[in-house]
């Protein structure tokens, strides 16, 4: 049963969705309906829904603004339901599960809800330790991290073995590299530079401020829909809502 919040200012369409959802092949539980962005924020913070059926244009703002507000710490999936098709590309960029143009047909709603269910099922499977351990071991066997990279610091250039890097954290125009044996280096390049350098070596940006070494993951925790990755140095990195889909899909691809 997927806990669902409807955010729609038109009472006719709101009632239509409420009536249509029980007919879907995917079971949902509508916990509340909202007509404004302000009401939606209150409902999201209170209920922590798994899914939001979201209109694009609302009386006090746009649905995109709502997603922007929860970009890093929101836990929900999103299906846009709207009369406007011009925001579809933006919705994809925001990792929306689907984008339905009114009037809504039951088969379209079914298709969208099944996408959401597949995502939620994937998240559930991949937080299992055995599955994750298998994934990490497969990455290690690829032997992509034996090379060394040069790091420019204020004290000069040093060489670091890629496999020694646990994670990287953005610090303004600098990047902090956390290494094995509790070592730390401050590099005079932005996190985006390192992301481009390391993404083909089994590193991934899972948050605006963090790139992690996927071979250093110990386990993933789910706290009320908010996912955290525990690393080999016992540190904890949150998976942002915006990065959640790509992160779990990357892991699922290798299992």
Same domain, yes or no, for 148 and 244?
Answer: yes
Output the pLDDT for position 254. 52
Output the pLDDT for position 226. 81
> What's the number of domains the chain is made of?
2
| Angle 192-198-202 from CA coordinates, rounded to 5° | 125
Residue 222 token pair:
């789910």
Same domain, yes or no, for 74 and 9?
Answer: yes
Residue 125 token pair:
């499977």
List the CATH number of the domain containing 78: 3.40.50.2300
Same domain, yes or no, for 27 and 99?
Answer: yes
Same domain, yes or no, for 10 and 113?
Answer: yes
Same domain, yes or no, for 133 and 122?
Answer: no
Same domain, yes or no, for 146 and 216?
Answer: yes
pLDDT along the chain (255 residues), means of 10: 95 93 95 96 93 94 88 82 76 80 92 92 68 81 91 90 97 95 94 95 95 94 83 94 83 61
Same domain, yes or no, for 187 and 88?
Answer: no
pTM: 0.63
Output the pLDDT for position 95. 76
Same domain, yes or no, for 110 and 172?
Answer: no
Same domain, yes or no, for 190 and 244?
Answer: yes
Output the pLDDT for position 223. 78
Output the pLDDT for position 230. 93
Its domain, for residue 44, covers: 2-126
> Which of 105, 126, 147 marks a domain boundary?
126
């Amino acid at each position: 049963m997927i806990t669902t919040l409807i955010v729609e200012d038109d009472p006719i369409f709101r009632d239509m969705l409420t009536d249509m959802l029980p007919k879907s092949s995917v079971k949902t539980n509508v916990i509340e309906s909202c007509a404004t962005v302000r009401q939606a924020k209150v409902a999201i913070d209170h209920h922590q829904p798994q899914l939001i059926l979201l209109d694009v244009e609302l009386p006090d703002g746009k649905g995109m603004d709502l997603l922007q507000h929860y970009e890093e710490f929101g836990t929900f999936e999103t299906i846009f339901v709207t009369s406007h098709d011009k925001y579809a590309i933006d919705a994809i960029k925001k990792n929306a599960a689907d984008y339905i143009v009114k009037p809504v047909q039951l088969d379209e709603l079914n298709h969208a809800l099944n996408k959401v269910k597949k995502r939620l099922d994937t998240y559930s499977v991949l937080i299992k330790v055995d599955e994750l351990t298998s994934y990490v071991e497969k990455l290690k066997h690829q032997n992509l991290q034996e090379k060394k990279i040069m790091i420019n610091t204020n004290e000069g250039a040093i060489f670091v073995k890629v496999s020694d890097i646990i994670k990287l954290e953005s610090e303004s125009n600098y990047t902090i590299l956390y290494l094995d044996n509790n070592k730390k280096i401050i590099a005079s390049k932005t996190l985006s530079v390192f992301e481009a350098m390391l993404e083909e070596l089994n590193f991934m940006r899972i948050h605006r401020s963090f790139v992690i070494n996927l071979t250093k993951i110990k386990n993933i925790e789910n706290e009320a829909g908010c996912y955290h990755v525990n690393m080999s140095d016992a540190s904890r990195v949150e998976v942002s809502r915006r990065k959640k889909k790509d992160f779990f899909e990357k892991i699922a691809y290798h299992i």
